[in-house]
Amino acid sequence: MKKHPKRAQRAPFSLQEFADHNELANPNSSKKKTNSGDDEVWDLRLYTAGQTPRSVAAFANLKRICDEYLPGRYNIEVVDLVKHPQLAAGDQIVAIPTLVRKLPQPLRKIVGDLRNTDSALVGLQLRPTGE
């Protein structure tokens, strides 16, 4: 059996190094900054199953996050899968509640009731100003 020559081992990238590396490799794919004061509208779709406590909490938490970080720049559509189960296939929903960010692209999904604001902001790729 042949042995492969030893390769120099590199330390893994930090998240910042990874982001910087990707930005250098793809200079034309710069992301829009959500805190730059631009007026892009966010289209969000929340999939729920009736008026369960988790569904109600997910909507309340989403509304609070949007009011704080996207004032006047968001649309929320609530899809009740108890009433319209066929709509789950379009966005490939496998758990509820699920939030789907349609716009701005790329599409993002977050499963859960959004009670952890920091995780929700990371999932939405939305950061408060100053971070």
**Digit-coded pLDDT (tens) for 73-120:** 999 999 999 999 999 998 999 999 999 999 999 999 999 999 999 999
CATH architecture assignment, domain 42-124:
3-Layer(aba) Sandwich (3.40)
State the alpha helices, DSSP H only, in the chain. Answer: 15-25, 53-69, 117-124
Q: Which of 95, 108, 98, 97 has its CA nearest to residue 43? A: 108
Rounded average pLDDT over 13-33: 41
Rounded average pLDDT over 22-43: 52
**CA 21, CA 26: separation in Å to the nearest integer?**
9
HSE-up (13 A, CA, CB side) for residue 12: 2
Give percent above pLDDT 90 in the chain: 63
Q: What residue spans define the domains of the chain? A: 42-124
| pLDDT at position 126 | 82
| pLDDT at position 25 | 40
Q: Which of 6, 89, 92, 99 has its CA nearest to residue 45? A: 99
9 with 1: CB under 8 angstroms? no
